[in-house]
Structure 1
């Protein structure tokens, strides 16, 4: 399992596909009644990519990039990270309880929050511009409470495995908003790839299939 990132190549078509897949065991009795067992809490994804062009020029070696990446992974053997176009940004909100300093980052899909296992690492980020107090009636500071609404020295660390760690806990009721980039854990669906040579030093890949997950079960 490697943390190499799938190359971002300019010839990718907009018709990239993503299909969430679950694994459900279904047993049916003679009277038609079903008993179902779910083997996955979160889906895996079948991802399909097509590249209109892959240049083979001296300074634009996109075919070589894709082919080398595939060979280095030994086809479907090794996994890697993939940043899906326009599906790689998270925005999380956490409310302090006065004790917690570590939070699980998540992706919001309508009404669901899916935990993230692969995120772009941020070290020593400054948290103070991102916090705001949930209670609108609390003063920023007062004579009987010298705790500021935000702390200038507070910093945060976003790990590559989807955790947010603060240098000190949020006060009770404080809200922290944090945004960043996440990746899918993927492998190639097949042990082979096909490239078509359609013009001088120009190739295309009609289909590059990946199996992906927001967790580590690939």
Structure 2
């Protein structure tokens, strides 16, 4: 399992979240266009300014080792090479999310979440608290297959709606092969531009 992005009490505002898509556009002499989407789903780019990090608890509100937690994760990932899980506090949990309808044969279903009028697969499910089939709670008979599949021992009946309560994270990589950690004063550091983006699991 990938490492987890640490909780950083010294994170500041504004935090940015940018959906990214890619489209190939072919223009014709008539002025018409042919457009082809290149990504099966949007990716998300995050920007997080961290105004306060402490290595030794000099500033209790920043935790006891927040500098080591962020610096350690970055070095562990070797910059843009490795991956980690980031939980967006505003987009990381759903309740009674409809996943699919059974067909009597399929036993594995991807976890999805609905965003406005869009339903898309989530990156990495971190916990499942309830599963229902046709409105009935199923305490057993299913398992979570990493990163994002709900697997049943027996295929749900045709037409039975499968739903779940679960939490999820974005599988991400850093965008830069270098981050500036600034030593502001004794016991106080900052990393004012931490950028990363989601990737397909």
Give TM-score scaled by structure 1 length. 0.76
Distance in structure 1 (CA, Å) of the matches to 2:169 and 2:142: 20
Contact 1:107 1:115 in 2 (8 A): yes
- In structure 1, the partner of 2:186 is 200
CA 1:72 to 1:105, structure 2 compared with 1: closer, same or farther past 3 Å? same
Aligned to 1:212: 198
CA displacement, residues 67-104 of structure 1 (integer Å, 9 cap, x when unaligned): 11111111111222211222111342244444443221
Aligned to 1:120: 126
Structure 1 residues 190-218: Cα deviation after superposition (integer angstroms, max 9, x where no partner): 101012222321112211011213x23xx
In 2 relative to 1, CA 21–194 (structure 1 residues): closer, same or farther, beyond 3 Å? same
Name the CA distance, whole Å, in 2 between partners of 1:39 and 1:172: 33
What does residue range 83-94 of structure 1 map to in structure 2 within 5 Å? 83-91=87-95, 92-93=97-98, 94=100
Shift of 1:30: 4.8
Residue 10 (structure 1) aligns with: 9
Sort the Cα spacing of 1:95 and 1:197 in 2 relative to 1 into closer, same or farther, 3 A.
same
Q: Considering fraction of residues, name the structure with more strand.
A: 2
Matching residue of 2:48 = 49
Q: 1:183 aligns with which of 156, 169, 192?
A: 169
**Which of 49, 71, 74 is matched with 1:70 structurally?**
74
**Local SS of the residue matching 2:126:** coil
Gaps in structure 2 of 5+ consecutive residues? 58-62
Larger Rg: 1
> Shift of residue 105 of structure 1?
0.8
Give, in whole Å, the separation in 1 of the partners of 2:37 and 2:160.
38
In the alignment, structure 1 segments of 5+ residues that lack a partner are: 134-148
Partners of 2:36 and 2:127 lie apart in 1 by 36
Match of 1:168 in 2: 154
- Residue matched to 2:60: none
